Amino acid sequence: MNKLVLPILLLVTACTTVPVTPKFPAAPESLLEPAQNLEPLYPNKRELSDLLENVAENYGRYHILELKYQSWQDWYNQQKKIFEEVK
């Protein structure tokens, strides 16, 4: 009888599995925030060329940042949804 106890215990304990649920890493808060406001035109720059230059530069920067943030957020949300569905 003693010879059967050890093999039975090994069979019972070896068949149990411990559920391991990995956690999806949280995104840095700085990447989830909207783009910051752009710099206004300085008061000492009053010429139309300065205004146009500032507007063109800010317009381009803003839209590049907006696309980067939106693309990253979309990717992250999709990956997180896939990760949670697999569990």
End-to-end CA distance of the chain: 42
SS (H, E, C) 29-53: HHHHCCCCCCCCCCCCCCCHHHHHH
pTM: 0.53
Domain boundaries, the chain: 24-86
Judge contact between 24 and 83, C-beta under 8 A. yes
Are 1 and 25 in contact by the 8 Å Cβ rule? The answer is: no
Per residue in 16-73, pLDDT tens? 666 767 777 777 776 777 777 787 888 887 888 988 998 898 998 888 888 888 888 8
